[in-house]
Structure formats: structure tokens, C-alpha cells
Structure 1
Amino acid sequence: MRRLVSPRWTAACLLVTTIATADAAPPTQPLRAAEGVYVGGAPTDATAWDALVARGVKTVVGVEGIPPSPPSGSSEGLRLVHIPIGYGAIDKAASDRLTRVAREAQRPLYIYCHHGQHRGPAAAAIVCLAANLLDKEGALDLLRRAQTDRKYAGLWRDVAAYRAPPADAVLPELTPASPSSPLSLAMCQLDRAWEATLKSDTREDRHTAMVLVVESLKESRRAVEATGARPGLLADLQEALDQAREIEHAATGLDPEELDQRFGPQCLRCHATHRDTTD
């Protein structure tokens, strides 16, 4: 479902109103996932970060490819945690780190992804399950309230399948930035999604996989935009994204060979120009 409020709209007004009255908040705004846990879109400027501090948030967890990057002086008192996840799944490493957030991070928590609609709510659901703040049905209801799209079936699946590790389990460290670069992560997700597209047996599966190709290209573009560098790569990613969006709508009527013929050359051109120098 298309958002009525831009994800780039500053969180100053969003957070001031929704942390106090989040149960009534529409899914276009940050949601109260459970007691002391909130989920929404990425804070994008100093005003947004200052609003988090002003509302008493103690820990900010970013799950998009780009680590939390508040302007200087705008994150005083905040613990920043980066746990990037894709649209296709929440892998064990990410799930374990979200469990550690639930067990040790000071609340209130603010968990965000780019739009605050898909990955962020799924991550918040895992945190709430791990902290015994929600039961399984409550966690799935959080995805419904956030309007997490059913086409991201892996997010729904992994929330439904979550089981907390033992209390004495050794869980991964929480860090403010993932060791992998956002672009590398997005490109890995893109490779897996494209491979799944070509291996899919049904039209429905091909369309589902092609949706993930589009989202991975969007994430790759955001990662390059954040650096302000590599304009050639940015242009090629935009071209690939435009083509992928067209193919997404036609994917149900194309077999894997046709998909490869239409989109494969674009991948090869971009790889030939950029892959050897892209981290």
C-alpha cells in the first residue's frame, strides 16, 4: 500500500505525537509496538534525532542497509545499534542480535527501516517476542498494523517461526555499524533475489522474487546516494531499477529464460563497469 506520508517527513512532529498516543496512530506514522518499543521510518535530520532524545528514547536500532548516522551533537544519550536485514528473510545472525537488543538494550527503543513499514516492524516484532512483550499473534498483528506487505513473505515467515535462544546462549555483539558495507549487503541481497527469480517454478514465485530484486536495487541506490560519490554507478543503478520495475509487472507472464534475456544484460553491463571497484 502506498504511504500517504513521505518517509522523509521529519520525525520531530511524528515522534512527539505518536510516542504519547501511538495506539491511535495510523500506519503512516511510527507505531507503538509494545511497552517501550516503537517502530517507524528513518530519522533524516538533526530535528528528527533531537526529537528522539526529547521523547526519552534510549536506544535506536536501524535495520536498513545504512547505519544510524545522526548529525554531530544530535545523539547525546542514545545507544545506536545497526542490524541490517533484507526484505526476504531475517537470518539467524540478525535474529540473535535482535534478541540481544530485547535482553540488554535500555528502553524506550526506536526501531526503524527506510519507510517504517516492512523490515522495521518485522525486527520490532522479533524484539517484542524475545522480551515477552508480545505473544506470536500479537507480533503478527504488529505487522498487520504496520501494513507490512504480504509479498515480503520471508518477513512474515520468520516472525511466525521465531523461537528465543536459551537464556545462557552467547549472542552476537551489538555495534553501531555493520561490518559489511550497505552496498555490499544490498548487492548480496540482489544476487540472491535474481537467482531465486531464475530458479522459480511458478509465475507467482517469479513475481515474488522479482519484487525482491526491485527492493534490493532501491537499497543499493540509497547506499550510493548516502556516500555522495560514484555518480556513474548511481545512474546505472537507476537505469536497472527502472527496467526491473517494468519487468516486475510482466514477470508473471515471462519464463526464466525470457527474464534473463531482458534483465541479464543490464546486470552484466553494470558488473563490467563497477563490480571490481565496488565494495
Structure 2
Amino acid sequence: MTARFLPAAGLTAIAFLACGAPDGERRADSAVFTAAQPVSGIHSAYGSTAAIRLPARAPLEAPGLVNVFRLSPNVFSGSEPAGERAFEQLAHWGVRTIVSVDGKVPDAAAAATHGMATVHLPIRYSGLTSEQLRRLAKVFREARAPFYVHCFHGRHRGPAAAGVGRLILDGASREQVVAEMGQWCGTSPKYAGLFALLSSAPIPPASETEALAFAFPSACRPEGLRGAMTEIARVFDGLELLGLRGFESDPEHPDLDALNEARRLVELFEVCAESAQAEPRGLGRGVEDSLRASRDLERFLSELRGGREEALRGAEEALDSVADDCASCHRAHRNRR
């Protein structure tokens, strides 16, 4: 059955497994609030960011972390933690649970070293499905606060998910959390579904999330070969778009980062390689070729990010190789079914 989106219509969701991890510890402070009523009298979801004017606030500065805001004693929002010092800083701030809504599998082992749990719940820029919202609400009600909620940049999906925590844990008004998202965190108005989530989506009641079976996974991957292939198509489209710009950021798509997308592509082909072991041998070889090309792409983009301009040609050729390998594999296998 197709998932119902809250609030973006017409876009297809990728279903992720609620893959296995131990149940999270419950918060010592179990007080939660009934979410505020939807914002009214606003012609667009993004327009609700101006319903109240917040005082200017600069993000917190820390090694390996960008665009970090402490929205309340319970909730931080920011970027993906990069490196040991980033996790040290989060622990120093008292964070107990890291919630990643990015597609890439988070470094749960590094978090655990510093006494923090990790929950992985990937979401789209178009909004959350009703099931994703129930799971996120359950995490905020039952895992341990304070929470550090992140996507990749810490500007779009992460602040939206953190806003759900503000509604549930802090009893914040919808006007307040939408203003924080737009005025402080810098969420782009292009992602209307994320603003609509906070301004109007019904928050599941505690009775509903308490009955929900969700094990707080520290890593979620697409389900099997078919799920990974579907997600690969989306990631490749973004890389192809950035490739037209020399893999530089695109103002029309501020969510896309070439190196992060390339790393995600490698992860997905690794899932395919594992699943293809049970498939015809020729399919496995095709997947291995694509995996090698995607690793080359990641390597060249990393070198390009480090200032080696000559790596651009290698990145372009690696992306072309991924496309050629996928096309060959499809001709030999998928298109014959």
C-alpha cells in the first residue's frame, strides 16, 4: 500500500526497513506536550515563517559541526557530525541521542564511544510519510533527551525533524518552530513540504506512538536489490545534475552535495552487491562494475573538494561509467523480464 504523505503529494517515497537495534532507553524526563494547533490565516507554509520575528542568532561553532542551533534544552539541530571532535563536542553539550534523518548510514559506533545512542530515520525533502512521522514522534517521546537532530547540511530536513521534537517535548507553538526553521536554520523556501509539516500536519498522539512497534534502528538500508536500485536512480539524477555544473552546488537544488551523494551511491551499490549474490551470476558482475565506478567517483570528488582541479575529468568519466554499467546491466537483465 502506498504511504500517505504529510504534506507533499505526488512524490514517491522509498520505504526503509526498521532494521534491528536495541530499544532506546526512555528519557528521565518523560513530560511531553500536546502539539499546538495548525497555523491559520497563512497563504503558504513558508509564509508562516514570518508570523513572528525572532531575535538574530548565530549558529554554535564547533569542529566538525556546522549550522548548529540549540533550539531548547531538549533539542539541538545541525549538520552531520564529521570526525571524533564533533562527537566529543556533542557529548560535552550533554546530547544523549543522535537522530539522523539523512539517507547515509550514520556513524553509530563513534557516537556510542561517547555514550550517545543513534537513531537512523531517513526522510525526503518533500516531507514525511505518516509512518515516518509516527516513528519520529515515538523517538522523541521514548528515547533519551537531549537530542541532536541532523541531516547533511543541517539546513533543511534536520531542522524540520527537530521542529517535531520542539512541538512534542517543549510545547512550542507552530509559529515558533517554523520561524526557527526559516529564520535561524536557513531552510530553503523550495522545500514547502517541510514547512507544511510543522505548520499544519497532525502530530500523532502518545497513545498511537506507544502502540507502535519501532526498534530505534541505528542504521537503515533500502530493502533488497529492488529498493536499492530505485534509490540509486534518484541519487544518480542528482549527481548528473551537479555534473553539468562541474559538481559545484546548484542554487536551484541547495540540498544536493556531490561528494555526499557519491558516498550515498557507494552505500547503495554495496547493498546491491550483497543482494546480487542470490541473483544470476552476470547480474553480480554488472553490480560489481557499477560499485567500482561509484567508488572511483567518490575518490575523484574527494580530490576535487581538496583542490585538485585535474580530478574533475576523472569524476566526469566515473559518472559516465556508472551510467554505462547500469545501462548494460539493465539490457542484460531487467529489460528482459
Flag the 1:29–1:42 CA change in 2: closer, same or farther, 3 A.
same
Rounded Cα–Cα distance in structure 2 between residues aligned with 1:107 and 1:151: 31
Q: What is the TM-score normalised by the length of structure 2?
A: 0.53
Matching residue of 2:178: 140
Flag the 1:227–1:178 CA change in 2: closer, same or farther, 3 A.
closer
| 2:194 aligned residue (149, 155, 163) | 155
Deviations 1:89-128 (A, max 9, x none): 2122221111012211211111111111111001101121
Are positions 1:232 and 2:293 aligned together? yes
- Percent pairwise identity: 26
Rounded Cα–Cα distance in structure 2 between residues aligned with 1:56 and 1:235: 39
Are positions 1:272 and 2:313 aligned together? no
| 1:31 aligned residue (69, 87, 97) | 69
Relative contact order, higher structure (CA 8 A, sep 6+): 2
| 2:212 aligned residue (171, 186, 191) | 171
Deviations 1:55-90 (A, max 9, x none): 211111111112321455863421110011122221
Are positions 1:221 and 2:237 aligned together? no
Rounded Cα–Cα distance in structure 1 between residues aligned with 2:267 and 2:323: 24
Task: Using the TM superposition, give the Cα deviation of residue 32 of structure 1 relative to its aligned residue in structure 2, in angstroms.
Answer: 1.5
1:160 partner SS: helix
* 2:264 counterpart letter in structure 1: A
Task: Using the TM superposition, give the Cα deviation of residue 137 of structure 1 relative to its aligned residue in structure 2, in angstroms.
Answer: 0.6
Are positions 1:52 and 2:63 aligned together? no
Rounded Cα–Cα distance in structure 2 between residues aligned with 1:266 and 1:105: 43
Flag the 1:127–1:49 CA change in 2: closer, same or farther, 3 A.
same
Rounded Cα–Cα distance in structure 1 between residues aligned with 2:162 and 2:90: 17
Matching residue of 2:143: 105
Flag the 1:270–1:88 CA change in 2: closer, same or farther, 3 A.
farther
Q: What is the TM-score normalised by the length of structure 1?
A: 0.63
Query: How many residues were matched structurally?
Result: 215
* Structure with more helix by fraction: 1
Rounded Cα–Cα distance in structure 2 between residues aligned with 1:73 and 1:89: 27
Task: Using the TM superposition, give the Cα deviation of residue 171 of structure 1 relative to its aligned residue in structure 2, in angstroms.
Answer: 2.7
Rounded Cα–Cα distance in structure 2 between residues aligned with 1:236 and 1:77: 34
> What is the CA RMSD across the aligned residues, in angstroms?
4.0
Are positions 1:95 and 2:133 aligned together? yes
2:207 partner SS: coil
* 1:96 counterpart letter in structure 2: R
- Contact (CA 8 Å) 2:76, 2:147: kept in 1 or not? yes
Matching residue of 1:180: 222
2:128 partner SS: coil
Question: Bigger CA drift: 161-170 or 30-39?
Answer: 161-170
1:106 partner SS: coil
Task: Using the TM superposition, give the Cα deviation of residue 152 of structure 1 relative to its aligned residue in structure 2, in angstroms.
Answer: 1.5
Equivalent residues in 2 for 1:248-267 (5 A)? none
Flag the 1:158–1:270 CA change in 2: closer, same or farther, 3 A.
farther
- Contact (CA 8 Å) 2:235, 2:265: kept in 1 or not? no
1:188 partner SS: helix
Structure 1 residue runs without a partner (length 5+): 1-22, 195-209, 240-264
* 1:120 counterpart letter in structure 2: G
Rounded Cα–Cα distance in structure 2 between residues aligned with 1:96 and 1:158: 13
Rounded Cα–Cα distance in structure 1 between residues aligned with 2:78 and 2:144: 18
For the pair shown, the structure with the greater C-alpha radius of gyration is: 2
